[in-house]
Amino acid sequence: MRMTASEVTGPADATSMRRCDVCIVGAGVAGLNAAFAASRHMSRDQRIVLVDRRERVGGMWVDTYPYVRLHQPHGMFTAGNVKWTLGRERSYLAAKDEVLDHLEHCLEEIRGSVHVDTYFGHTLEAVDEGSERCRVTCRSATGELLTIHADTVTKAFGFRITPNDPLSLSSSQAHSVSPDSCDVRTGDIAADDRPVWIIGGGKTAMDTAHALITSCPGREVNMVAGAGTLFTRRDRAFPDGLRRWYSGVVTSSFGAEAARRFDGTNEAAVRDWQCATVGTAVTPQTANFLLGVLSDDEVRTIERGLHSVVMDYLVDAVDRDAAVDLQFRDGDTTTIPSGSWIVNCTGYVAKNEHPYEPYLSAGGKVLSIQTRSATLHLSTYMGYFMTHMLMLGKLRDTPLYEFDLQEMFRASRTAFPYALLTVAQYNLSLMYDALPTKVFTQCGLDFDRWYPLPRRTLATARFVMTHRREREHQRRSLDIVRERFDIRCGPLRHDQTAEVDGH
């Protein structure tokens, strides 16, 4: 039975107790999407409690490097269908502060339809799932306990991104820095003229190279790009102006086609097809695709500005006389001047160990949005769709595949994106049958919204006509992935005991 719970059952002091209908832990964009979706099923007098260990709304955008920009046009990075108020052209790639302002605005919009109490600076310690409701225990940074009684709980931890430290290297002559604590456009690094070595070849590395090349023209910038990263070519995925009508690749069609081509074994062939249709890269090899986006202009600027690209992995930097040796995994060494800058852009995904937790608890009241039991390709989508599924009581009976994104990422970077896109296609198909159509039509996260209505309608019509019969192929591919890489990838077993705690 749903209980209306707008009452505070204890003072908000040292050991306080709150009562609410929905408790969401994680105030990043996934948590905001969960709040938005939950609010669509709640009445005005009901209450959401939103908890986060960070001191404000915004999640990873609060402390990620200062020159980070959105990959996608800003309109599609939101909670539910909350509109941006920036007043910029549609293609504008919002900067960090603009993203944070928008996420704050999303929270205010959600507050327009339901009560939302926020507890920032509070870390989740445990969720005890009872037969009637859940007890959520959190602790503030100063040690006070907060207990929340909620009908349902969503743990929206997403990719659990935390800032990177500088690389720990033997050298004391090189400056080892992290973009999260060293803005490469300003301060000592910008005032210096010694070479910069960017370690990593993903989005952070590209953003860092672009920032350095454009803000410090003439500076020697080098990149150690590992196995290389493939990006989605922005000019193909989001063509501008009139070209939206006749060129480009509609995102949902790309996802469907990738899943159609992927059979669980042929990731190299799917990658080659992607390279040819919608891919772009700065590096000669591209073993990784991490759903990042780069424009032709960015690629040109970075290619022209880079002094060298090493397709290898840095192992250590060691002082030798008045210079520093960079040592690489394949045994090569490069000598660089003392005082060179080494910037850690090695990435944020699957950095730390996190225990497995199913997306739905044994009692069906705790939804968990994280990488060990992922159901869709982006945490924003999971926050939105999975919460609709939870609120409508559809999660138990819909045999969604859970996917251990963390383990898959470690097992094969090349197969990872196509397995993930296949899981997303498969589960979206099941959700399409389980949810009211308006949940889909009102989803502002949908990248297809870039295109004019007739093109979107065509893509949707094709999905509606084909998604059920394509499921069998997708299921088979995913089962092969499970066997091949020995990772969790299959329907959730609702009888398993959920470990529901604060991890």
Ligand X SMILES: Cc1cc2nc3c(=O)[nH]c(=O)nc-3n(C[C@H](O)[C@H](O)[C@H](O)COP(=O)(O)OP(=O)(O)OC[C@H]3O[C@@H](n4cnc5c(N)ncnc54)[C@H](O)[C@@H]3O)c2cc1C
Q: In angstroms, give the least distance from the CB of 98 to ligand X.
A: 12
Site for ligand X in 435-474 (CB under 6 A): none
Does 339 sit near ligand X (CB under 6 A)?
A: no
Does 52 sit near ligand X (CB under 6 A)?
A: yes
Cα separation, 209 vs 195, whole angstroms: 12
Cα maximum dimension of the chain: 74
Q: In angstroms, give the least distance from the CB of 401 to ligand X.
A: 19
Q: In angstroms, give the least distance from the CB of 289 to ligand X.
A: 14
Q: Is 36 exposed, middle or buried (0-12, 13-18, 19+ CB in 10 A)?
A: buried
Which CB atom, from 361 or from 379, has the smaller least distance to ligand X?
Answer: 379
Q: Which of 42, 59, 151, 229 binds ligand X (CB under 6 A)?
A: 59
3-state SS assignment for residue 258: helix
Q: In angstroms, give the least distance from the CB of 119 to ligand X.
A: 9
Q: Which of 78, 164, 171, 204 binds ligand X (CB under 6 A)?
A: 204
Phi/psi at 244 (5° precision): -60, -25
Which CB atom, from 98 or from 263, has the smaller least distance to ligand X?
Answer: 98
Region of 200 (left: φ > 0; alpha: ψ -120 to 50; beta: rest) is: left
Site for ligand X in 347-386 (CB under 6 A): 348, 378-379
Cα separation, 72 vs 84, whole angstroms: 14
Cα separation, 451 vs 453, whole angstroms: 6
Which CB atom, from 51 or from 443, has the smaller least distance to ligand X?
Answer: 51
Site for ligand X in 401-440 (CB under 6 A): none
The one-letter amino acid code at 163 reads P
Binding mask 9-48 for ligand X (x = CB under 6 A): ----------------xxxxxxx-----------------
Cα separation, 420 vs 381, whole angstroms: 13
Q: Give the interface segment with ligand X, choosing from 150-158, 228-236, 254-262, 318-326 (CB under 6 A).
A: 150-158
Q: Which of 36, 67, 84, 159 binds ligand X (CB under 6 A)?
A: 159
Count the neighbouring beta carbons within 10 Å of the beta carbon of residue 12: 12
Q: Which of 5, 114, 116, 161 binds ligand X (CB under 6 A)?
A: 161
| Contact yes or no for 270/210 (Cβ under 8 A) | no
Place of tokens 């690389």: 167
Cα separation, 5 vs 425, whole angstroms: 37
Binding site residues, ligand X, CB under 6 A: 25-31, 51-54, 59-61, 64, 68, 70-72, 77, 123-124, 156-159, 161, 203-204, 348, 378-379, 502
